[in-house]
Amino acid sequence: MSKVNVIAIDGPAGSGKSTVAKEVAGRLGFLYIDTGAMYRALTLKAIKEAVDFNNEQALSRLAAEVDIQLKMHRGSLQVMLDGKEVGKAIRKQALTEKVRFVAAIAGVRKEMLKLQRRLAGASKSGAVLEGRDIGTVVFPGAEYKFYLDAYPEERAKRRYKELKQMGQKISLKALARDIKIRDRDDMTRDVAPLAKARDAIYIDTTELTVNDVVEQIIKKCSI
Ligand code: CDP
């Protein structure tokens, strides 16, 4: 495995992973890798190509071929699928509801893992990766591991605010339901379920600001 400095941040939807991971990466001059965005982009590709969601082989093949790139542009993450920016399309609620089916396939995860390790390994200084299985599967040997969590009501509220800002219409109740189902499925799947690595530091972000969490993480990382 690569010798690059890796900070692994895992946790459920709305725990603040993305915002925190991006900020930590920015402050340390590290590469920011949003692995959820990669699963989302792959799901978008599957929808575009009308691949049957029950066809594990076809989805795994798609994962092996897909062209996904992550770029930072003026402090925002740009997600490129086949050379086109898809940042907004992959956050649509209809797509969010499908990602977990694609992400539960072993062949898909194998390809995504390769890509994630390759991306992190190519970074000069280090990388902050966020997702569900970074500390447990993708970089089990990472020196710095964190598991962010928050009360489900707070997580739903945060996501509601984000989606509203993006102009998406969805009720808080529907979002809370989606998050509950996703948590359950992500935590109970056979391959790489969402879990706190034994050696990860648990941070309950319910009452904390983004800056509080970022400071806590940076303080723990003696980089
Ligand atoms: O931003 P949010 O927490 O809602 O989700 P995300 O990080 O974009 O991930 C979307 C979905 O992708 C999750 O619900 C998981 O099913 C899947 N995922 C995964 O299985 N493994 C990862 N490392 C990242 C995401």
Least reliable range by pLDDT among 17-26, 78-87, 132-141, 214-223: 214-223
Residues with CB under 6 A from ligand 1: 13, 18, 35-37, 39-40, 99-100, 103, 131-133, 182, 186
User: 6 by DSSP, 3-state: which?
Assistant: strand
User: What's the pLDDT at 94?
Assistant: 93
pLDDT-derived band of residue 3, with 50, 70 and 90 as boundaries?
Answer: low
- How much is the mean pLDDT over the chain? 95
Model-level pTM? 0.95
Q: What is the mean pLDDT of residues 35-52?
A: 98
Q: Which residue from 41, 152, 123 is spatially nearest to 87, judged by alpha carbons? A: 41
Burial class (CB in 10 A: 0-12, 13-18, 19+), 3: exposed
Nearest atom in ligand 1 to the alpha carbon of residue 13 is: 3
**pLDDT surpassing 50 at residue 1:** no
Q: What is the DSSP letter of 42?
A: H
Residue 27 has pLDDT above 60, yes or no: yes
Q: How far apart are CA 61 and CA 63, in angstroms?
A: 5
Q: What are 105-162's pLDDT values in tens digits?
A: 999 999 999 999 999 999 988 999 999 999 999 999 999 999 999 999 999 999 999 9
